[in-house]
Amino acid sequence: MEKLMVSMTPMWITLKLRPVLMNLLTLVLGLSAVSALSVAASAPQDQHPDQTLTELAALRWDYRVILVDARIPDAIARLEAAQAAIDERDILWFALEEGRISTNYPGALAPSLRAELEAKVFSRSDEAVFLIGKDGGLKATATHLDLPALFERIDAMPMRRREMEAATAD
């Protein structure tokens, strides 16, 4: 004779636990995805050293970009002096002066990049400083170069905060 197994757990408890278990499963899967993103974020950045840069879009997701009108007094010297802080934040900077570009980009620059900067950025605004995020979006503009304020703004960005948290976890 077979024994009939009867659950001693009332049905209402089973029904109430089902959404909790589903939420727990969703949380575990979500944490796995975040963990994978953290590993990807901590991987070395693609430095593009041997590539000719033809457009800013090629830097998306690897770098933040600061565009500067080099007519700002000592702009290039100030950017070069802050190179450690700039490197820490994955920033490439481009200073446009009389049709010439100065930059910390390690590779060559195509003439089309200068044309892009002049046509799409500097000719459309009276601003002299532009901050572009890793997502390619314009994050800030200014009439003068205030690097501490730009660094503070970058450090408040969610992506940068995750980068800093990952660096302290290592």
**Which pLDDT tens digit goes with each residue over 109-130?**
999 999 999 888 888 888 999 9
Same domain, 29 and 91: no
Alpha-carbon distance of 132 to 140, in angstroms, equals 7
Q: Which alpha helices (DSSP H) does 43-170 contain, by range? A: 75-81, 83-88, 111-116, 147-155, 158-169
Output the six-digit token pair for 76: 């290039």
Counted domains in the chain: 2
Same domain, 34 and 71: no
Expressed as residue numbers, the domain containing 19 is 9-40
Output the six-digit token pair for 9: 């757990």
In a domain, 1, yes or no: no
Order of all β-strands in the sheet with 138-142: 100-103, 91-97, 64-69, 129-132, 138-142
**Which pLDDT tens digit goes with each residue over 39-91?**
333 333 444 556 899 999 999 999 999 999 998 999 999 999 999 999 999 99
Q: Which of 25-34, 77-86, 131-140 has the lowest mean pLDDT?
A: 25-34
Same domain, 33 and 107: no
Comparing CA positions, the residue from 85, 93, 105 lying closest to residue 155 is 85
Indicate the pTM of the whole model.
0.70
Same domain, 87 and 35: no
pLDDT on residue 86: 98
In a domain, 4, yes or no: no
Same domain, 117 and 157: yes
Same domain, 150 and 125: yes
